[in-house]
Amino acid sequence: MKPSASRAPGPALPAALDEAAHRCLVAGFDGTTGVPDPLKRLIDRGLGGVILFTRNVRDAEQVRHLTDTLRALRPDLVVGIDNEGGGIGHLMAAGAPEVPGSWALGVVDDPALTAACADALAGHLLTLGITASYAPVADVQSRSANPIVRTRAFGGDPELVSRQLRAWIAATEARGVASCAKHFPGHGGTVTDSHHELAVDPRPYDRLDLAPFRAAVDAGVPLLMSAHVVFPALDPERPATLSPRILRDLLRGELGFEGVLVSDALEMKAIADRYGEAAGARLALAAGADQVIVAVPDLEVTLACRDAVLDALRTGELAEGRVTEAAERVRRLARRYAVPPRPEAVAAWDGGAGLTAARRAVRGGGPLPAAVPGAHVVDLFPAPHPALNWGGEDLLTEVRAVDPEATGTVVAGEPEGARTVASVVAEALRGADGRPLAVATCDAGLYPWQARVRDALTAVRPDALLVSTGLPEPGGAVCAYGRGRVNLRAVAEVLTGRSD
């Protein structure tokens, strides 16, 4: 649902209140160099932050120039980005350190190694002038059919997740970067992706996974992000992002969080289709959020959200005190994190920590099979999520980097058109003739086409070595616990018995 773009403005608010309302917004935008005029005007009126995506990234020098340009307009502008590691990140083209996804770090369960990976990511952000990282994921992967959390979580045990969170937050804080635990009060107990529709966690209160969020608050996390998820045990009507019971009573009251509470992106269908982005902005701030994210690059959507907030202030539907309180939290965050040190002042980080962690995760999954050099590798995985970055990595590329004799078949997303499941199977069997065969799937339980390809191949080639690049699957001999490049490289080394 796209808000209407242009309309006559209402009566002017006092300047201080107008600035406070703008502090409560985080905007996405298009472009890698210049700043669009509508964004300049928002920044001039007090915009609290911007969020960068792959669309804003060409290389490291360009990102540094872009963040310098933004801060020349407003020095206390918070510049943020999703930076979870693994296959979730937007800075591949800018030389981001390669670290495994969170689940692999949880498998290793070495907080010092987790801290080293988080430190590398945070140190790199500072060299680019980025001071807020919308990570780590504090969700617990509680439902096997959950389609969106999975290896983005540190695990399925709240205590393990809490340990990893504490290490990540402390390392990020030590760098002077703001971390953000998400998605409160948890997205791991749903079977729906809130990017696509409203998600519901039906569990009773005493079974919700709140422990990691308590741990994050106790660790001093400066940002928390809300979930677009309905929790009937807490509020049967509204998703957490719009619920005073969850944001004010639970998070502020019971958990004692005093930092900045930011919404997940308002254009996600769980909010946009049911309420609209503009109403979502007003309702989220009224419920207790301090900032709302409008991630889409269409600034007309951001302006409509801003106008809805200003209108609600004029009518009294949104209390002035609520907005000024939120804006003051954002100002405190900005004073602490907005202006980064220059790149030359940033100390080096451990560039090998990510591969070390990925290797230990694979070797933590039980006995491993003998290497199969010269194999034909079939890599099956779902089409990349439209809201999450994908750097183009695949297992075959990583295998061939250490074993040039290997061949393979890569299938990103369910075959369609002329490329059918049957044709993929036939292609793979031809390629594997006279060679060892390795078949990798990624969450085949959620994507039945992968299971059909795998089962057809193993019916002909029962000697095939099975690999999982998502969560562990029945019969999988090797598990990467993620699809970051270092996860795939670690598996490639096991398959080939070689490393570079």
pLDDT tens per residue, range 2-39: 444 445 667 899 999 999 999 999 999 999 999 999 99
Helix, coil or strand: residue 244? helix
Identify the CATH class of 365-496. alpha beta
pTM to 2 decimal places: 0.95
Domain boundaries, the chain: 15-345, 365-496
β-strand pairing of 25-27 with 292-294: parallel
Mean pLDDT across the chain: 94
Placement of tokens 């795998």 in the chain: 454
pLDDT tens per residue, range 252-299: 999 999 999 999 999 999 999 999 999 999 999 999 999 999 999 999
pLDDT tens per residue, range 387-430: 777 778 999 999 999 999 999 999 999 999 999 999 999 999 99
Contact 30, 54 (CB under 8 A): no
Helix (H) or strand (E) holding 465: strand 465-468
In sequence order, what are the beta bridge partners of 339?
Answer: none
Residues 322, 325, 327, 333, Cα dihedral to 10°: -140
What local confidence, expressed as pLDDT, does residue 365 receive? Answer: 67
C-alpha 20/C-alpha 17 separation (Å) is: 5
**What phi, psi does 361 have (nearest 5°)?**
-65, -45
- Spatial neighbors of 313 by CB under 8 A, at least 6 apart, are 13, 17, 21, 320, 323
pLDDT tens per residue, range 174-229: 999 999 999 999 999 999 998 999 999 999 999 999 999 999 999 999 999 999 99
C-alpha 472/C-alpha 469 separation (Å) is: 8
Most confident listed range (7-11, 325-329, 344-348): 325-329
| Enzyme catalytic residues | 195, 264
- Spatial neighbors of 364 by CB under 8 A, at least 6 apart, are 107, 108
CATH number of 15-345: 3.20.20.300
Closest to 434 measured CA to CA, from 405, 467, 397, 472: 405
